[in-house]
A and B are shown apart, each in its own frame.
Chain A
């Protein structure tokens, strides 16, 4: 029996506009007092008239373009009808036949995942389930009702739970690059609903298990675990019941993170049951080719483009390039090092510097940011400091490991890194006359070690150690080794 999971992902992203999608209420709902950002439109009162938020529509188009989608020049909103307490109007304004954008694709770890659509809709209210006076109750807060939401629907091109996670990370990065949402899964501004079923091949016959849409997944690990659980559950269910998918047996299952399992929430309504029809209160929307181009022009340089630039122009490895481009602000701070009067005109030097600076960014600054859970503060990145530090290392005044050490210190204090190295006595002495003087003293003071060296040249380490100590750690170890070897091979010097 061969089992292939078929996984599609629906991702909902709350846009960080100031106001809601169809009314002027404040769209910020996190930690706001319940039901204080509402009005007749988002409470679904009769006669209220929704008017689309222009910025939200433009951002949806922008996101679609970044996902490689085509923009429909003619589109309209529709009503999706169903009863649920968090849906004040008993219908959600969404897009169905003519979404803003369709048919895109993104590449995740070398594999192409097709995007069916990225469309505009509104969020629902928030439910809180609790027992009040012994009665199971649901409490409702409509601050979130009507917050602009973009739904990104993938084709079922995903076959592994880890791929689903990578896809989400990619979407999250893309949205953050665009600056249209915080895309924070834990806080609910990015939500993911995997739809899972299995293709089962057995004795030359092919079966498809019933679809399950999984809700309430509130972390990336949760997505992975929920999908893995569902694959296992459907495999067992198929062995027991042999039930296969039809147009009526799609179900919605909730993810219980504490118990690490999914549970049946409700039998899913078929799409015909939603009785979609064009929203009569909102005129259709047209985007001219010029307007679409105008939005396209606002797309920032995306991570793929940065990664390619870092590899071809700066000569960085794929690994370093990807890490640098992970966060847009981090990447921008790195790139600012090359936008200065100190930049080298020589291509080879430029590449050596690029690698040097990448090591400091990834080795020192990123480590520090991870430890402190901070975001990069670009005002603390001074291009001159990095070029001075680079020149000091090139001149062998500083070792690369010292450069890493003082970079973190410089980022924290704002002091010049070379000054920090001087204050800490970390400047290397590479002046051979000075080192030779110390080397001679060391040789005289350690006759036994000199004899050992004549028998076993590997034992030179001891003498180098003595020299380093005598110099207070400031001698350049490579220069020290060369001078000692010269002295020991020619005792007459």
Chain B
């Protein structure tokens, strides 16, 4: 992140790429400004002294919740594939992911 919570166009494009979002030219500047404003709120929070505060990832007090190593019934193949956009011979099908050159 850049200084003062300012999101550059380059950073915006990078975030869009990671999120697999298409952002066109006009939207780019608008989104960068909006995200910058959001990030500025983080700067406000940064003014607080949090040296003695542990990071919170969970709000309940649970810990060490396990399940035993036991097999439960699975979906049938038909059920598993029922929400797929495209299938082939029992598999989910998608565009090629590897380009061997």
Which A residues contact B (CB, under 8 angstroms)?
17-19, 23-26, 33-39, 43, 51-57, 76, 83-85, 127-129, 132, 135-142, 254, 256, 263-265, 269, 273, 275, 277-278, 280, 282-286
Residues on B with beta carbons closer than 8 Å to the beta carbon of A138: 93-98
Q: Are A54 and B92 in contact (CB under 8 A)?
A: no
Residues on B with beta carbons closer than 8 Å to the beta carbon of A85: 92, 94, 97
Q: Are A52 and B67 in contact (CB under 8 A)?
A: yes
Q: Are A39 and B74 in contact (CB under 8 A)?
A: yes
Please, how many angstroms separate the alpha-carbon atoms of A136 and B58 in the complex? 44
Which B residues contact A (CB, under 8 angstroms)?
18, 20, 55, 57-58, 60, 62-77, 80-81, 88-98, 100-101
Please, how many angstroms separate the alpha-carbon atoms of A382 and B93 in the complex? 56
Jot down 11 A-B pairs with beta carbons below 8 A, ordered by A: A24-B71, A35-B80, A36-B77, A51-B65, A141-B90, A142-B80, A256-B100, A283-B62, A284-B58, A284-B63, A284-B64
Closest Cβ of chain B to A143, distance in Å, is: 9
Q: Are A35 and B18 in contact (CB under 8 A)?
A: no
Q: Are A137 and B96 in contact (CB under 8 A)?
A: yes
With A35-B92, A51-B65, A54-B66 known as contacts, the answer to whether A280 contacts B58 (CB < 8 A) is yes
Please, how many angstroms separate the alpha-carbon atoms of A173 and B76 in the complex? 37
Residues on B with beta carbons closer than 8 Å to the beta carbon of A24: 67, 70-73
Please, how many angstroms separate the alpha-carbon atoms of A434 and B31 in the complex? 107
Q: Are B91 and A34 in contact (CB under 8 A)?
A: yes
Q: Which B residue sits closest to A25, measured CB to CB? A: B74
Closest Cβ of chain A to B15, distance in Å, is: 10
Residues on A with beta carbons closer than 8 Å to the beta carbon of B91: 34-35, 128, 139-141
Residues on A with beta carbons closer than 8 Å to the beta carbon of B81: 35
Closest Cβ of chain B to A72, distance in Å, is: 13
Please, how many angstroms separate the alpha-carbon atoms of A76 and B58 in the complex? 11
Residues on A with beta carbons closer than 8 Å to the beta carbon of B92: 35, 85, 139-142
Q: Are A38 and B71 in contact (CB under 8 A)?
A: no
Closest Cβ of chain A to B48, distance in Å, is: 20
